Amino acid sequence: MRRKDREMDRDYGLQMIDRAAYGVLSVMESDGQAYGIPLSIVREGDVLYFHAAKGGKKSDLLLDGTKVHVVFVGETRIPAVMTDAEAAEAARTPEKFGLLTSKLFTTEFESAMVQGVVRQLHADEEKTHALRLISQKYTPLWMHYFPQATRSGLGITAVYAVDITHLTAKRKKFDALGDEMKWQRMA
């Protein structure tokens, strides 16, 4: 990672994955083309879970042992770190031009990237466990119908796990004074 001052620790990355609404899983096709798939993903420990139809391009590409890259994007926003008067002053002062790009033309963000290896789950118990985790994250209000949904859909649903082999996380955020917050590792 080029900007080590924005690198966050593993725990932050795991928490960011848990907060993310979705992840984009990327895999290489046999012809060398990249293929990205936005997915509803849940994490338990060092494993990501998602589901799909049993047939189609996704299932053709996600064979056991396939290496994948998954990107999660968390909160992003345009920070309000300068007043219009401060921006006007910076625009008039050559020494302060850099403030315009570093504080006005920027975004706050958080992201996590995972490298991992795919495996398809086959045992009904494993599949049900993963589907329960996914449902608890995305449809918690409907969990009382989960047993019926599982009975009707388990046989036609493919469920996958991605074992995390590498995780990085990054954040850019400003404090109340408009200064960029830097991550400081504890020694």
Tokens of 6: 């924005």
The domain total for the chain is 2
Do both 68 and 128 map to the same domain?
A: yes
Tokens of 132: 């329960």
Do both 127 and 166 map to the same domain?
A: yes
| Mean of per-residue pLDDT scores for the chain | 87
Which residue range is the domain that position 90 belongs to?
Answer: 78-107
* Phi then psi dihedrals of residue 64, to 5 deg: -55, 130
Do both 134 and 60 map to the same domain?
A: yes
Largest CA distance in the chain: 68
Residue 187 lies in a domain: no
Q: What distances in angstroms separate CA 105 from CA 102, 125, 177, one per listed residue? A: 6, 50, 17
Residue 177 lies in a domain: no
Contact between residue 65 and residue 117 where contact means Cβ atoms under 8 Å apart: yes
Q: Number of helices and strands (H, E) in the chain? A: 6, 8
| Digit-coded pLDDT (tens) for 12-64 | 899 999 999 999 999 999 899 999 999 999 999 999 999 999 988 999 999 99
Residue 175 lies in a domain: no
Do both 94 and 139 map to the same domain?
A: no
Residue 94 lies in a domain: yes
Residue 185 lies in a domain: no
Rg of the chain over all Cα atoms, to the nearest angstrom: 21
Other beta carbons within 10 Å of 54: 12
Residue 182 lies in a domain: no
| Digit-coded pLDDT (tens) for 119-171 | 999 999 999 999 999 999 999 999 999 999 999 999 999 999 999 999 999 88
Residue 186 lies in a domain: no
Q: Which of the given ranges, 65-79, 89-103, 119-133, has the highest pLDDT on average?
A: 119-133
Last residue of a domain, one of 86, 107, 128: 107
Over pLDDT 70: what percentage of the chain? 88
Do both 55 and 136 map to the same domain?
A: yes
Do both 148 and 160 map to the same domain?
A: yes
**Of 114, 127, 112, 122, nearest in space to 49 by CA:** 127
Do both 46 and 138 map to the same domain?
A: yes
Do both 49 and 128 map to the same domain?
A: yes
Residue 184 lies in a domain: no
d(CA 5, CA 18): 23
Do both 92 and 119 map to the same domain?
A: no
CATH of the domain at 165: 2.30.110.10
Do both 57 and 138 map to the same domain?
A: yes
Do both 128 and 161 map to the same domain?
A: yes
Do both 90 and 119 map to the same domain?
A: no
**Of 61, 76, 74, 75, nearest in space to 113 by CA:** 74
